[in-house]
Structure 1
Amino acid sequence: MSELRAHLGEWLDRARQGHDVVVTDRGVPVARLVGIDGASTIERLTRQGVISTPERAERPLARGRRRVTPKGSLSDLVSEQRR
Protein backbone atom coordinates (compact mmCIF):
# COMPACT_ATOMS: atom_id res chain seq x y z
CA MET A 1 0.00 0.00 0.00
CA SER A 2 2.82 2.42 0.78
CA GLU A 3 4.33 1.85 -2.67
CA LEU A 4 0.93 2.53 -4.25
CA ARG A 5 0.64 5.82 -2.37
CA ALA A 6 4.17 6.86 -3.30
CA HIS A 7 3.84 6.00 -7.01
CA LEU A 8 0.11 6.29 -7.64
CA GLY A 9 0.57 8.21 -10.90
CA GLU A 10 2.76 5.48 -12.37
CA TRP A 11 0.31 2.73 -11.38
CA LEU A 12 -2.59 4.68 -12.88
CA ASP A 13 -0.61 5.10 -16.12
CA ARG A 14 -0.15 1.32 -16.25
CA ALA A 15 -3.89 0.81 -15.77
CA ARG A 16 -4.62 3.33 -18.55
CA GLN A 17 -2.33 1.34 -20.85
CA GLY A 18 -4.49 -1.74 -20.29
CA HIS A 19 -2.55 -3.50 -17.54
CA ASP A 20 -4.34 -4.88 -14.48
CA VAL A 21 -2.67 -3.67 -11.28
CA VAL A 22 -3.34 -5.79 -8.19
CA VAL A 23 -3.08 -3.87 -4.92
CA THR A 24 -1.95 -5.89 -1.92
CA ASP A 25 -1.91 -5.16 1.80
CA ARG A 26 0.81 -7.17 3.56
CA GLY A 27 0.87 -9.60 0.64
CA VAL A 28 -2.91 -10.12 0.52
CA PRO A 29 -4.71 -8.87 -2.63
CA VAL A 30 -7.29 -6.23 -1.68
CA ALA A 31 -8.07 -4.35 -4.91
CA ARG A 32 -7.45 -4.22 -8.63
CA LEU A 33 -6.84 -1.14 -10.78
CA VAL A 34 -7.98 -1.50 -14.37
CA GLY A 35 -8.34 1.03 -17.16
CA ILE A 36 -11.79 2.15 -18.22
CA ASP A 37 -12.73 1.64 -21.86
CA GLY A 38 -13.58 5.07 -23.25
CA ALA A 39 -15.85 3.71 -25.98
CA SER A 40 -19.55 3.44 -25.30
CA THR A 41 -21.13 0.03 -24.99
CA ILE A 42 -22.83 0.44 -28.38
CA GLU A 43 -19.52 1.36 -30.07
CA ARG A 44 -17.71 -1.55 -28.42
CA LEU A 45 -20.37 -4.13 -29.35
CA THR A 46 -20.48 -2.81 -32.93
CA ARG A 47 -16.70 -3.04 -33.20
CA GLN A 48 -16.79 -6.62 -31.87
CA GLY A 49 -19.46 -7.55 -34.42
CA VAL A 50 -22.03 -8.46 -31.77
CA ILE A 51 -24.51 -5.86 -33.07
CA SER A 52 -24.78 -3.82 -36.24
CA THR A 53 -25.90 -0.26 -36.84
CA PRO A 54 -29.35 0.30 -38.35
CA GLU A 55 -29.67 0.79 -42.10
CA ARG A 56 -32.12 3.65 -41.59
CA ALA A 57 -32.23 6.24 -38.85
CA GLU A 58 -36.02 6.43 -38.62
CA ARG A 59 -38.03 4.24 -36.32
CA PRO A 60 -39.52 1.12 -37.96
CA LEU A 61 -43.29 0.95 -38.40
CA ALA A 62 -45.47 -2.01 -37.51
CA ARG A 63 -47.21 -2.75 -40.80
CA GLY A 64 -50.56 -4.50 -40.84
CA ARG A 65 -51.29 -3.59 -37.23
CA ARG A 66 -54.00 -1.24 -36.14
CA ARG A 67 -53.43 1.20 -33.34
CA VAL A 68 -55.16 0.33 -30.08
CA THR A 69 -57.26 3.14 -28.67
CA PRO A 70 -57.90 3.07 -24.93
CA LYS A 71 -61.48 3.14 -23.61
CA GLY A 72 -60.51 4.93 -20.43
CA SER A 73 -57.58 6.30 -18.52
CA LEU A 74 -54.56 4.24 -17.55
CA SER A 75 -55.37 4.64 -13.86
CA ASP A 76 -58.88 3.23 -14.52
CA LEU A 77 -57.36 0.20 -16.24
CA VAL A 78 -54.94 -0.40 -13.35
CA SER A 79 -57.73 -0.04 -10.79
CA GLU A 80 -59.88 -2.52 -12.74
CA GLN A 81 -57.05 -5.07 -12.89
CA ARG A 82 -56.44 -4.80 -9.14
CA ARG A 83 -60.02 -5.78 -8.30
Structure 2
Amino acid sequence: MPILSGPQCLEKIRTSLELNKHIVVIFSTSSSPSDIQKMYSLGANYFITKPAAYNDLSTLINKAMSLVSQTDTQQPSFENFHIKI
Protein backbone atom coordinates (compact mmCIF):
# COMPACT_ATOMS: atom_id res chain seq x y z
CA MET A 1 0.00 0.00 0.00
CA PRO A 2 1.52 3.34 -0.97
CA ILE A 3 0.78 5.49 2.10
CA LEU A 4 0.25 3.14 5.06
CA SER A 5 1.36 -0.41 5.66
CA GLY A 6 -1.30 -3.06 6.27
CA PRO A 7 -0.70 -3.07 10.04
CA GLN A 8 -0.79 0.76 10.17
CA CYS A 9 -4.05 0.81 8.23
CA LEU A 10 -5.59 -1.83 10.50
CA GLU A 11 -4.56 0.14 13.60
CA LYS A 12 -6.27 3.25 12.20
CA ILE A 13 -9.42 1.26 11.43
CA ARG A 14 -9.55 -0.24 14.93
CA THR A 15 -9.09 3.17 16.59
CA SER A 16 -11.73 4.88 14.44
CA LEU A 17 -15.16 5.31 16.04
CA GLU A 18 -16.79 5.03 12.61
CA LEU A 19 -14.84 2.04 11.30
CA ASN A 20 -14.01 -0.12 14.30
CA LYS A 21 -17.21 -2.21 14.11
CA HIS A 22 -16.55 -3.41 10.55
CA ILE A 23 -15.21 -6.84 9.66
CA VAL A 24 -11.62 -6.61 8.43
CA VAL A 25 -10.26 -9.20 6.01
CA ILE A 26 -6.50 -9.15 5.44
CA PHE A 27 -5.58 -10.30 1.93
CA SER A 28 -1.81 -10.79 1.80
CA THR A 29 0.95 -12.58 -0.04
CA SER A 30 2.47 -13.49 3.31
CA SER A 31 1.88 -16.88 4.90
CA SER A 32 4.29 -16.21 7.77
CA PRO A 33 2.76 -17.27 11.10
CA SER A 34 4.22 -14.14 12.75
CA ASP A 35 2.61 -11.84 10.14
CA ILE A 36 -0.71 -13.63 10.50
CA GLN A 37 -0.62 -13.48 14.30
CA LYS A 38 0.36 -9.79 14.21
CA MET A 39 -2.68 -8.92 12.11
CA TYR A 40 -4.98 -10.89 14.42
CA SER A 41 -3.45 -9.16 17.45
CA LEU A 42 -4.21 -5.80 15.79
CA GLY A 43 -7.86 -6.79 15.33
CA ALA A 44 -8.20 -8.49 11.94
CA ASN A 45 -11.21 -10.79 11.66
CA TYR A 46 -9.87 -12.94 8.82
CA PHE A 47 -6.53 -13.50 7.12
CA ILE A 48 -6.42 -14.82 3.57
CA THR A 49 -3.15 -15.73 1.89
CA LYS A 50 -3.24 -14.69 -1.77
CA PRO A 51 -3.16 -17.56 -4.26
CA ALA A 52 -1.42 -17.32 -7.62
CA ALA A 53 -4.22 -18.61 -9.86
CA TYR A 54 -7.62 -17.00 -10.52
CA ASN A 55 -9.52 -20.25 -9.82
CA ASP A 56 -7.83 -20.50 -6.42
CA LEU A 57 -8.78 -16.89 -5.67
CA SER A 58 -12.40 -17.56 -6.61
CA THR A 59 -12.48 -20.64 -4.35
CA LEU A 60 -10.93 -18.65 -1.51
CA ILE A 61 -13.44 -15.81 -1.80
CA ASN A 62 -16.36 -18.24 -1.77
CA LYS A 63 -14.90 -20.01 1.28
CA ALA A 64 -14.35 -16.69 3.06
CA MET A 65 -17.88 -15.49 2.31
CA SER A 66 -19.27 -18.74 3.68
CA LEU A 67 -17.27 -18.29 6.89
CA VAL A 68 -18.32 -14.64 7.23
CA SER A 69 -21.98 -15.58 6.88
CA GLN A 70 -21.61 -18.23 9.61
CA THR A 71 -19.93 -15.99 12.21
CA ASP A 72 -20.37 -12.64 13.84
CA THR A 73 -17.77 -9.88 14.00
CA GLN A 74 -15.92 -11.45 16.91
CA GLN A 75 -12.27 -12.08 16.21
CA PRO A 76 -11.85 -15.75 15.28
CA SER A 77 -9.10 -18.06 16.39
CA PHE A 78 -6.13 -18.38 14.05
CA GLU A 79 -6.66 -22.12 13.55
CA ASN A 80 -10.24 -21.69 12.32
CA PHE A 81 -9.97 -18.63 10.14
CA HIS A 82 -6.62 -18.54 8.37
CA ILE A 83 -7.92 -19.35 4.92
CA LYS A 84 -5.43 -20.89 2.53
CA ILE A 85 -5.71 -23.35 -0.34
Q: Which category describes the TM-score, using the shorter chain as reference length?
A: under 0.3
Computing the radius of gyration from Cα coordinates, the structure with the larger value is 1
TM-score normalised by structure 1 residue count: 0.25
Higher RCO (CA < 8 A, seq sep 6+): 2
Greater percentage in helix: 2
